[in-house]
Structure 1
Amino acid sequence: MKNDRLFQMVYILLEKGSITAPELASTLEVSVRTVYRDVEALSMAGVPVYASQGKGGGISLMPNYSFDKALLSDDEQNQILFAIQSLQATDQPVGALLKKLGGMFQKQNVSWIEADFSRWGMGRVDNEKFERLKTAILEKRVLEILYCSTSGDTTKRSILPFKLIFKDKSWYLQAFCKKADDYRLFKVNRIVELEVTNERFTESFDDAPPMELDLLPLSAFTTIRLRFSPAVAFRVYDEFDRRQVSPQADGFMVVETSLPADDWVAHYLFSFGTEVEILSPPELRQELEAYAKKIYEHYKT
């Protein structure tokens, strides 16, 4: 609590230049005596803060003072700049703030990274959706959505949104679903229609389960061994843990991993075409063979 107050005090002094002890005490909601104790603590920490008496006096910082290495380490300064810069990914106007903090921290290059979570060619659409989701979450507004499930069914839902989560290359919306009368996780890209209503809610959802609880149980996974050709090496390293990949002398790659034991696996592996061979289990080979025949029959003239 005290460290937060000291940080706030320095920020106020940087912004105002000089302020009287009673004004500072009122702003920080502490006594004047506490203000002077904090001034002494900052001074002992190496922050050039001083108090002058008489008319026009007050508490001030030495001219040209910045945060540099006084209250925040170099790594902490970089972390703050990175966090603010990441806000640009959701189309937030943080350029001016980033420039000010960069100058305050005496950083020459504050644009060393750019984060954009929107899909290629879908920036405007995705950013508009995120803006509406942000509004609903911050203003506690009920959302009416049309959602497409993994089974392909589209259903209308009335939900109380409270958190956006980015995990494994995708955005998810955590919300309380009125229809299910329970917490649900919605993949943002599968929200087909979205309406922010005027209905508000007051719940904070502090008891919401962590996202990890929505994962399938271990019993729902099966261990498989796959052999990939060099032609799809980029996908192998994109989509599998490096520790699961065993490069072979001929350039091929053997992958041992665990995937959900359902129809999704065959559909996923089929996307590699002839560039993958299933080494085990044999029943998965048969399943993929049957799926390939089904595709053939579908397109046979």
Structure 2
Amino acid sequence: MKLERLISIIYMLLNNDVVSASELSCKYGVSQRTIYRDIEAICAAGIPVVSYQGVNGGYGIMKEYKMDKSLLSSDDIASLITLLKSTTTVFEDVRAHDTIQRLKTVQTENSRAPSLTMDLGSWRSYTSHLRTLHSAINARQLVHFHYMNAKDERQDRIVEPVSLLLKYDAWYLYGYCRSRDDYRVFKLTRMSKLAVLPELFERHHNIRTEDILSGGGKNQEQTEYAVIHFTAGSLATVLDEFYLDEKQFNEDGSLLLTIVKAIDTDWLIEKLLSFGEDAVVLEPQSLRQRIKDKIGKMLNRYEEV
């Protein structure tokens, strides 16, 4: 749309000393004649655009008109730009890119290297689902997918998508499940055959951020206390997986881990089994028994070996 193009051109001019008509024409996919008319419209709106002649000529905005760079600190701006850049790598959000251009207009020339760097694009296997769901959320369209629940049951779900959630090392969809007539959280890695339906939903989901962050755990069995002994050869992985839990390093190089918060029991058992003989649950007895039963079932699979 013309208005969006005009606003974007203004920020381009604010963010650069000189921008040529050919560069603007190429960026917005219009003729140079259209760019000339856009510049005239910007001038008519009271923004002082200056024309520079010559080989390196083009258009710029008077320095006195540019935004005061003291509105935000350089660290504030750098952090915001970093966060927005990380989302554009996944969602290809044009609006986020335009916001970055606006922020750069108040970034000082002597800004140091960013103290924060993020790469959400590392979830490459999720990218297609993330973009599809993000688009459906913005358009308020229903989505349909096959979902594998915690009981290993594959079910069809029709969902009114509300929000995407990045929690720990995984992406989730928070939405209103029409199949269950309630809000649910769905892990993206368990989705298949995701499709956006043409039907729009009219329900207004006035959900608090706290509700989204705490959702999805209502029906999960949780462990709120556990003491686990890890051998010295597994410490790096333990620190990666349980970095917020209480740790006691022993003289022999081993580690005693104490969990004093609610945690999904099934997830914890699977994680501890991945350590093999390097992890031993000391408490509680109920968790020790569940792991013993799990190992017993695994051994039964290899009776003929």
- Structure 2 runs not aligned, ≥5 long: 1-9, 16-38, 49-59
Give the structure 2 partner of residue 115 of structure 1: 119
TM-score by length of 1: 0.70
Q: CA deviation at 1:261?
A: 7.4
| Matching of residue 298 in structure 1 with residue 301 in structure 2 | yes
Give the structure 2 partner of residue 247 of structure 1: 249
SS at match of 1:299: coil
Query: Is the CA contact (8 Å cut-off) linking 2:141 and 2:199 kept in structure 1?
Result: yes
User: Kindly tell me: are residues 175 and 219 of structure 1, through their superposed partners in 2, closer, same or farther at Cα, counting changes over 3 Å?
Assistant: closer
Query: Is the CA contact (8 Å cut-off) linking 1:88 and 1:115 kept in structure 2?
Result: no
Q: Which moved more, 1:262-271 or 1:210-219?
A: 210-219
Amino acid at match of 1:167: K
Q: CA deviation at 1:230?
A: 1.8
Query: Is the CA contact (8 Å cut-off) linking 1:226 and 1:256 kept in structure 2?
Result: yes
Query: Is the CA contact (8 Å cut-off) linking 1:161 and 1:173 kept in structure 2?
Result: yes
User: Kindly tell me: are residues 220 and 293 of structure 1, through their superposed partners in 2, closer, same or farther at Cα, counting changes over 3 Å?
Assistant: closer
Q: Which moved more, 1:265-274 or 1:109-118?
A: 109-118
SS at match of 2:301: helix
Instruction: Pick one of 264, 284, 288 that aligns with 2:287.
Output: 284
After TM superposition, list the pairs within 5 Å mapping 1:51-62 onto structure 2: 62=62
Query: Is the CA contact (8 Å cut-off) linking 1:230 and 1:251 kept in structure 2?
Result: yes
After TM superposition, list the pairs within 5 Å mapping 1:1-301 onto structure 2: 14=14, 19=43, 23=45, 62-63=62-63, 67=67, 69-92=69-92, 102=104, 105=107, 106=109, 107=111, 109=113, 113-119=117-123, 123=124, 125-207=125-207, 209-216=211-218, 220-258=222-260, 260=263, 262-301=265-304
Q: CA deviation at 1:268?
A: 3.0
Q: CA deviation at 1:181?
A: 1.2
Q: Provide the C-alpha distance between the structure 1 equivalents of 2:217 and 2:89, rounded to a whole number of angstroms.
A: 27
Q: CA deviation at 1:113?
A: 2.4
Q: CA deviation at 1:70?
A: 2.8
SS at match of 1:129: helix
Q: Number of paired residues?
A: 254
Q: Provide the C-alpha distance between the structure 1 equivalents of 2:150 and 2:257, rounded to a whole number of angstroms.
A: 26
Q: Which moved more, 1:129-138 or 1:77-86?
A: 77-86
Query: Is the CA contact (8 Å cut-off) linking 1:147 and 1:192 kept in structure 2?
Result: yes
Query: Is the CA contact (8 Å cut-off) linking 2:142 and 2:158 kept in structure 1?
Result: yes
- Higher RCO, 1 vs 2 (CA within 8 Å, ≥6 residues apart): 2
1:13-60 superposed Cα distances (whole Å, 9 cap, x missing partner): 93879746xx36xxxxxxxxxxxxxxxxxxxxxxxx99xxxxxxxxx9
SS at match of 1:245: strand
Q: CA deviation at 1:241?
A: 3.5
Amino acid at match of 1:278: V
Q: CA deviation at 1:167?
A: 1.0
Give the structure 1 partner of residue 30 of structure 2: none
The RMSD of aligned alpha carbons is: 3.7
User: Kindly tell me: are residues 84 and 226 of structure 1, through their superposed partners in 2, closer, same or farther at Cα, counting changes over 3 Å?
Assistant: same
Q: CA deviation at 1:205?
A: 0.5
User: Kindly tell me: are residues 111 and 192 of structure 1, through their superposed partners in 2, closer, same or farther at Cα, counting changes over 3 Å?
Assistant: farther
Query: Is the CA contact (8 Å cut-off) linking 1:228 and 1:276 kept in structure 2?
Result: yes
Query: Is the CA contact (8 Å cut-off) linking 2:176 and 2:184 kept in structure 1?
Result: yes
User: Kindly tell me: are residues 246 and 112 of structure 1, through their superposed partners in 2, closer, same or farther at Cα, counting changes over 3 Å?
Assistant: closer
Q: CA deviation at 1:169?
A: 1.3
User: Kindly tell me: are residues 217 and 241 of structure 1, through their superposed partners in 2, closer, same or farther at Cα, counting changes over 3 Å?
Assistant: farther
Identity over aligned pairs, percent? 23
Amino acid at match of 2:171: W
- Structure 1 runs not aligned, ≥5 long: 1-9, 25-48, 51-59
Q: Which moved more, 1:259-268 or 1:228-237?
A: 259-268
Query: Is the CA contact (8 Å cut-off) linking 2:171 and 2:188 kept in structure 1?
Result: yes
Query: Is the CA contact (8 Å cut-off) linking 1:118 and 1:127 kept in structure 2?
Result: no
SS at match of 2:69: coil
Q: Provide the C-alpha distance between the structure 2 equivalents of 1:12 and 1:117, rounded to a whole number of angstroms.
A: 26
User: Kindly tell me: are residues 93 and 266 of structure 1, through their superposed partners in 2, closer, same or farther at Cα, counting changes over 3 Å?
Assistant: closer
